[in-house]
Chains A and B, each alone.
Chain A
Amino acid sequence: MQADIYIGESSEIYDAIIIGSGITGGWAAKEFCERGFNTLMIERGRVVEHRKDYITEGKGPWEYPDRTKVNNLLEAEQYHIQKNSYAFSDTTKHFFGNDRDLPFTTEQGKPFHWIRGNQLGGKSLTWHRQAYRMSDYDFNANKADGHGNDWPIRNKDLETWYSYVEKHVGISGSKENLPQLPDSEYLPPFEMTSPEKLFTKRISEQFDDRKFIIGRAAHLSVPAPHHTAQGRIQCQARNECQKGCSFGAYFSTQSSTLPDAVKTNRLSIAANSVVHSLIYDETTNRVKGVRVIDNENLTTREYYAKVVFLCASTLGSTQILLNTKTKRFPNGLANSSGVLGHYLMDHNFGAGAYGKMEGFEDEYHSGRRPTGLYMPNFRYEPSRYSKKYLRGFAFGTGIQRENWKSIGYQPGVGADFKEKLTKPGAWSFSLYAQGEMLPRFENHVSLHKTKTDKWGIPQLHIDCSWSDNERLMMDDAAEIAVDMFKKAGLTDVGSYTSYRDKPPGLAIHEVGTARMGANPKESVVNRYNQAHDIPNLFITDGASFCSTGTQNPSLTFMALTVRAVDYYVNELKNQRI
């Protein structure tokens, strides 16, 4: 990338400022630049260049001093929160925030694991790449059962934008015509293994309302010409994505949105720029720009623009708004409703089951598929709810032949045992739930009254916990998983619940805290992600969500963002903004 796109001080008034460079920020930059806007992308962390900065890519485990494990002292001192993420290891830790530098507080007895990715590309480098549309059942859920506020949008508002981003991103998947999980625009799906095919068949035979499909993932199973033109090639099935992928085979800011934005020559990037707050003009009721503290030398600077898009992650965006206090908005910018910071949600992964399928000793697979089987939520409307709780859950899976990692715990020593460790073992199945979390006012974030971080910014205080609804759902999900495994003929079946040990945050699907709504008195942004209070301020990341659904949220972040840019551009063209 040409060096001159990285800027320091600037007095220019940009057409648009985008705060954040992850999945939403990257999309906002691409859209604004391609529509002719001089755009400034602000990133609090360092620059990560595609390919060049994927420093651990392709290394074998023996090339790490601790064989991919992270030194316990380093974890204790600098990664005591991040270490809880499934994707955190010595191979990926440079793409995770450093907890020593990024302190936050939680309410007594209510831990929250805030997983951070503060670098150019944000968490688009480390995301799990599962990509699902939300359905009208999801958008209607709050209205249907009276929890949370009604989403002001439905599928018809988003479907063209979903299609638009999907074609560019490249989503592998299969058309299924499921009412609760609308189809996307697809590249060919990844193959199932033979035991997976049999399992899927048996479940469909026994349960009218349940179907396992291949997980839809933002991977180039077969690249389209426009992917190849960007230097992206077919997924090589390494499944080491969180280290970065020089093949550009999965969607990230670096592989997909940033190259298009850069190509226009209209993008500037201010890296190492920690946004302290927004600059608000009381007389015009517009934001004028942002106040920034340098990540490294702590000096301050300002950037100016005609519109500001907050794409700083759910809690990052809300923290910036809360820290922008003005005469009109003493409790945080664009917070006339008082709901800013409230209705924080995440997905609950706190239950699952495991088992084995006999046979198929003559079957194996080649390559490491970057997705698994997925069962969409079958409790997607009140008439299908359990009597014990509201809403539902999806299931993800891990299905493979056992290897030394589990066989090593079986009894045995000596040459025969060693031989056994080198051979593929039984086909082992696991299911894990991904449950919806109800929107609740009391799950909220605020600014700590006294504690600040090294940039002098008040620390975020998080007060969030599972409710009985989430706990009862997970208890049920464990039972349902076992029942399905048994009916599918699996053996050695067992289940677990882990929600007691796994606080919210770990799904890294945190959403809410600046929710959208039709009523300005009870929501922060309108149906176009535009702040009700301030016309040239948009919040297009997960903060704007009204409910979680059961789907991984990133695809919806993308669709909301491009739709918001389109809306702003039209409003500007028609001089309504």
Chain B
Amino acid sequence: MSKVVTDTQKGNHINNDARRAFLQQALGAVCVTASASILSGCSLEVADEFAATPTKPSSDTTLFSEPQMTTLFAIVDTILPRTDTPSASDVNCHGFVQNQLTRCHTAEQQASTVAIVNQINQVSTANHKKPFALLDKQQQNALLQDLEAKRGFSDEDAQHFSFLKALVVFGYFTSEAGATKALTYQAVPGGFKGSIPANAQTKSWGSLDYY
């Protein structure tokens, strides 16, 4: 992981073309294996939201290798699959995780997240003779549930996964679709009411004070 640390410290500017090419390749490959309809969610326009502006320093966002990104893609969609609302990868949570880790988190957090992604794939390969991305949905679910329950995984593994999961959840519900489609968004509430009725169908507010 020393490369990541060095690049972050040096504040290398993103080579947009190189990154674009990488994402195209990495996400394209995954999209093909997953399903054709995911393609819209792999849009580079979404990835471009993460581009640094010239007025502030940026760092190299290439944290995950192509195979690691493939695994991460499958992990984020196991955590938040597509239902009547978009999946995590539909809103590019995998790209978000890479962006956020390299730009807003510590080298230790970057390293531990890459490590848990590797670990998930290794356990999958050992138990099922297949990479995590190629397991069926039940197997993927079961593996991550085992991880949270520390069955065949250490306390530390579970902690690292918990961090990754929270990051995915953050990325999802701060995306436009996550905040406004999966939740109810009030940009201008118009005032405060202390009591309104709620039932089992009531969605949380997607518009929050602080994120």
Q: Which of A507-521 contact B (CB under 8 A)?
A: none
Contact yes or no, B83 A415, CB < 8 A: yes
**In whole Å, how far is B62's beta carbon from the nearest beta carbon of chain A?**
16
Chain B 165-184 interface 0/1 with A at a Cβ cutoff of 8 Å (1 = within): 11001110111100110110
Tell which of A335-343, A365-373, A442-450, A480-488 binds the partner: A365-373
Please indicate the chain A residues that have their CB under 8 angstroms from the CB of B210 in the complex: 68, 89
CA distance A68 to B96 in the complex (A): 13
Q: Considering the complex, which residues of chain B in the window 144-191 have a beta carbon less than 8 Å from any beta carbon of chain A?
A: 144-145, 148-149, 162, 165-166, 169-171, 173-176, 179-180, 182-183, 185-191
Say whether chain B's binding surface is mostly helix, strand, loop, or mixed.
loop
Cβ contact within 8 Å between A403 and B205: yes
A362-B198 CB under 8 A given contacts A60-B187, A368-B208, A421-B173: yes
| B18 on interface, CB distance cutoff 8 Å | no
Contacts of A411 in B (CB 8 A): 145, 148-149
Which of B103, B169, B195 lies in contact with A421, CB distance below 8 A?
B169
Q: Which of A122-130, A134-142, A236-244, A459-467 contacts B (4 or more CB under 8 A)?
A: A236-244
A70-B104, A403-B205, A403-B208 known; A367+B11 contact, CB < 8 A? no
Q: Which residues of B contact A65 (CB under 8 A)?
A: 49-53, 103
Q: For chain A residues 23-72, which have a beta carbon within 8 Å of chain B?
A: 58, 60-62, 65-72
A418 to B149, CA, bound (A): 18
Specify the chain B residue showing the minimal Cβ separation from A190.
B192
In A172-191, the 8 Å CB interface with B consists of 190-191
* Residues in A whose Cβ lies below 8 Å from that of B174: 61-62, 67-68
| B99 contacts partner chain A, Cβ-Cβ < 8 Å | yes
Interface-located stretch among A151-159, A192-200, A272-280, A315-323: A192-200
Contact of A422 with B203 at beta-carbon distance under 8 Å, contacts A60-B187, A62-B176, A404-B169 already known: yes
| One of A191, A366, A404 near B189 (C-beta < 8 A) | A366
* Residue contact A368 to B78, C-beta cutoff 8 Å: no
| In the complex, number of A-B residue pairs with CB atoms less than 8 Å apart | 189
Are B185 and A60 touching (Cβ within 8 A)? yes
Task: Check: A235 CB closer than 8 A to any chain B CB.
Answer: yes
Question: How many residues of chain B are within 8 Å of chain A by beta carbon?
Answer: 68
Please name all residues of chain B whose beta carbon is closer than 8 Å to the beta carbon of A419 when the two chains form the complex: 83
- The interface residues of chain A lying within 8 Å CB-to-CB of B176 are 60, 62
Contact of A194 among B78, B99, B194 (CB under 8 A): B194
Q: Cβ of B190: which chain A residues have Cβ within 8 Å of it?
A: 236-237, 367
Q: Kindly state the separation between the CA atoms of A265 and B154 in the bound complex, as whole angstroms.
A: 70
In the complex, the answer to whether B189 meets A368 with C-beta atoms within 8 Å is yes
Could you tell me which residues of chain A, from 226 to 240, have a CB within 8 Å of some CB in chain B?
A: 234-240
**Alpha-carbon distance A422/B171, docked complex (angstroms):** 14
Interchain CA distance A418-B182 in the complex, whole Å: 9
| A-facing residues in B74-112 (Cβ within 8 Å) | 78-81, 83, 85, 96, 99-100, 103-106
Give residues 140-167 of A contacting B (CB, 8 Å).
none
Interchain nearest-CB distance for B79 vs A (Å): 5
Cβ of B124 within 8 Å of any chain A Cβ, yes or no, is no
> Of the candidates A72, A89, A363, which one forms a contact with B198 in the assembled complex, judged by CB atoms under 8 Å apart?
A363
The answer, among B8, B104, B191, for a CB contact under 8 Å with A234, is B191
Task: Assess whether A9 is interfacial by the CB under 8 Å rule.
Answer: no
| B52-A367 in contact (CB<8A) | no
Shortest beta-carbon distance from A531 to chain B in Å? 41
Contact with A along B190-211 (1 / 0, CB 8 A): 1111111111101111011111
Interchain nearest-CB distance for A139 vs B (Å): 34
Docked CA distance A293–B63 (Å): 45
A192 adjacent to B194 (CB under 8 Å): yes
How long is the Cα–Cα vector from A193 to B197 in the complex, in angstroms? Answer: 11
* One of A361, A363, A369, A414 near B192 (C-beta < 8 A): A369
Query: B56, B59, B166, B192 — which one has the most chain A CB atoms within 10 A of its CB?
Result: B192
Asked if A423 and B202 sit within 8 Å, CB to CB, the answer is: yes
A186 to B37, CA, bound (A): 57
A459 to chain B, nearest CB (A): 24
Contact: B211 with A66, CB < 8 Å?
no
CA distance A235 to B189 in the complex (A): 10
Which A residues lie within 8 Å of B199 (CB)?
A: 362
Cβ contacts under 8 Å, B51 to chain A: 65
Q: Which of B56, B170, B194 has the most CB of A within 10 A?
A: B194
Asked if B141 CB lies within 8 Å of chain A CBs, one says yes
In the complex, B70 has a CB within 8 A of chain A: no
Q: Which of A396-419 contact B (CB under 8 A)?
A: 401, 403-405, 408-409, 411-415, 417-419
Docked Cα-Cα span, A73 to B13, in Å, equals 12
Find out whether the CB atom of A62 lies under 8 angstroms from the CB atom of B144. Answer: no
| Residue A74 CB within 8 A of the other chain | yes
The chain B residue sitting closest to A421, CB to CB, is B169
Q: Are B191 and A235 in contact (CB under 8 A)?
A: yes
Evaluate whether A364 and B106 lie within 8 angstroms (CB atoms) in the complex, with A191-B193, A196-B194 already known.
Answer: no
Which residues of chain B have C-beta atoms less than 8 A from A366's C-beta? 186, 189, 192-193, 196
Check B162 against A424 for contact (C-beta < 8 Å): no
Residues of B contacting A369 with CB < 8 Å? 192, 194
The residue from A58, A70, A367, A415 contacting B191, defined by CB atoms under 8 A apart = A367
Q: In the complex, which residues of chain B have a beta carbon less than 8 angstroms from the beta carbon of A236?
A: 188-191
Name, among A60, A405, A413, the residue most crowded by chain B CB atoms within 10 Å (CB to CB): A413
Give chain A nearest CB distance to B133 CB in angstroms: 15
CB of A501 within 8 A of chain B? no
Partner of A71, one of B58, B171, B187, B195: B58
Known: A190-B192, A236-B191, A408-B165. A361 touches B198 (CB 8 A): yes
Which positions in A face B, CB cutoff 8 Å?
Answer: 58, 60-62, 65-74, 77, 89, 190-194, 196, 234-240, 361-369, 401, 403-405, 408-409, 411-415, 417-419, 421-424
* A/B interface sample: 18 pairs, CB < 8 A: A60-B179, A60-B185, A61-B174, A62-B174, A65-B49, A67-B100, A72-B59, A73-B103, A238-B187, A363-B196, A401-B204, A403-B204, A408-B165, A409-B162, A411-B148, A412-B148, A414-B78, A414-B81
Q: Which 6 A-B pairs have the closest CB atoms?
A: A191-B194, A367-B189, A408-B169, A367-B192, A61-B174, A364-B198
